[in-house]
Structure 1
């Protein structure tokens, strides 16, 4: 890989906004998966999906103990 080829790759700078966007997107995806797995999937005939331990703990941190 040459230096010219590497400079053609335009990646965004890792800034505070990028990190916040990544965290918000990850949180939204976790919540969406949890909602689908526990509420929507059984309604449409799929089995109730068990969240991974990490996803479950993230949801508990965000929304508190239910």
Structure 2
């Protein structure tokens, strides 16, 4: 995975709404976009992902371990 790649979550993930510091749970099946790759790009440790929340017209960020993608 590289920055700007998109994928669907296979399990629910805890995230934080940008600018609100509000915790939300992104359900399995949510489409997310990679915004940051942590560690060596060839063998990353984790990904920072962003999801659009249409019900509130906001975005949320979550960190997902690479082994779970």
Q: TM-score range by the shorter chain?
A: under 0.3
TM normalised by structure 2 equals 0.19
TM-score by length of 1: 0.19
Instruction: Give 1 or 2: higher strand fraction.
Output: 2
